[in-house]
Amino acid sequence: MTNDFFALVDCNNFYVSCQRVFDPRLEGKPVVVLSNNDGCVIARSNEAKALNIPMGAPAFKCKTFFERNKVRVFSSNYTLYGDMSSRVMTTLGYFCPDMEIYSIDESFLFFRSTDPAKLMDLGRAIQKTVLIWTGIPVSVGFARTKTLAKLANRLAKKNPDGNGICVLDTHDQIHQGLSMTPVGDIWGIGRRYETFLRSKRIQTALDLVAMPQSWVQKHLTITGLHTVLELGQIPCIPLEQAPPPPGSLVCSRSFGTGVSDLASLQEALATYVVRAGEKLRRKKLTAGCVHVFLATNRFRPEPQYARSACLTLMPATSYTPDIQTKARAILEKIYSPGYTFQKVGVMLTDLTPSSNRQRSFFAPSPQEQSRQHNLMKVMDTINKQYGNTTVTLASAGLGHKKWHMRRKFLSKRYTTSWAELAEVS
């Protein structure tokens, strides 16, 4: 067996930690972060967890509880979180070139030919460096497979004596770790499989590993078998350093207040089209089809309406004005007056790498393509430096709109806006 190890590095209470980096007064205090439109709790500090505040708790139901227990509440600040995530991932890249960014706050690292006796020191070095360079605390789990590394990271968070680091390598370490892990907490085991396994008296990861592989494949498919093999230190899930391009790209938000008029819906849609176009170009993709969807709030006792439609983009493009022309036409087609809408959005599909774009009879001239490319490049550069709405489409409107998300408790964009830099006194 080679001494190759996966590490799963996970930021602790990431959204809360981002807030604390720029406001040290929050240390030791119960803190929660709310979802879009300040709807429900999506992140909690350890102090908030100690108050038994559940994930997904509706904010309006907890208002009195928050006030009574002096819980600090923040709206989601995705601009801040995205930038801090980028800083953490860049820092991790200094430790290992073989890295898979798994989510906004998690990353797999792959260390080749590493002495198992040095893993704890390596974990401490990762923790210390990330904390000093970014201010974000992390937990680290080491193992010979990605599934075991995930499990090790979970144990690192659960065990205060481990100082946020866990190594699963020896037989005893793995046996104990599997016995302590409920079957529903295994990476790759969803709720449906958890219910099925518990009905078969399979309660822990150790119970699952003890099952015959033929039984596992029959009931959990080949994917489940790979999970079980990984729990037995047999690598089956490779590192995805360059994940395949997404099949679709969606931009949408629920409105802060309901919207009935077409003009406001057009402004909101244009805003989302601008964001979608920027994401396309950042990923070096073009879209061949644009979908627009529109819906009322199905939880309200009022007339309901939901529609969607699509149009082909010919040729495939990432040029925002062309996408907006199609999207606006779709919205005008599916809109119906007399309803209060909760959401409008755009989805781009038939995504292909920009470098693979085929020549088309309908394509603009090379000179026009060059002009479009340069225009979007300038637009993206300005928005990256000065904020993502500095340059936008006129059809997106100006100023604050009633359909904008409710973000009553929004913190500053400390790292991406010159006007909102942290102040030192």
pLDDT in tens, 278-306: 999 999 999 999 999 999 988 888 889 99
Crossing angle, helix 78-93 and helix 119-134, to 10 degrees?
Answer: 140
pLDDT for 418 equals: 60
Q: What pLDDT, on the 0 to 100 scale, is given for residue 97?
A: 87
pLDDT band at 206 (very low <50, low <70, confident <90, very high): very high
The pLDDT, as a whole number, for residue 359 is 61
Name the pLDDT band for 419 (thresholds 50, 70, 90): low
Domain ranges in the chain? 5-12+80-232, 14-77, 249-396
Per-residue pLDDT tens digits for 361-402? 566 788 888 899 899 999 999 988 877 778 888 888 776 677
Q: In percent, how much of the chain has pLDDT > 90?
A: 71
The stretch 79-107 carries a mean pLDDT of 92
- What are the CA-CA distances from residue 328 to residues 291, 332, 343 (Å)? 10, 6, 15
pLDDT value at 1 more than 70: no
The model's confidence at residue 51, banded by pLDDT at 50, 70 and 90, is very high
pLDDT at res. 281: 94
Residue 179, H or E segment: helix 171-179
- pLDDT for position 288: 92
In the chain, the N- to C-terminal Cα span, in Å, equals 56
**Domain spanning 249-396, CATH class:** alpha beta
The matching CATH number, chosen from 1.20.120.530, 3.40.30.10, 3.40.1170.60, 3.30.1200.10, for 14-77 is: 3.40.1170.60
Share of the chain above pLDDT 70, in %: 93
Q: Label residue 416 left, alpha or beta by phi (over 0 means left) and psi (-120 to 50 means alpha).
A: alpha
* pLDDT value at residue 162: 73
Q: Which fold has domain 5-12+80-232?
A: Alpha-Beta Plaits (3.30.70)
Q: Please check the confidence at residue 406 and state whether its pLDDT lies above 90.
A: no
Kindly compute the dihedral angle of the four CA atoms of residues 408, 411, 416, 421, in this order, to the nearest 10 degrees. 130
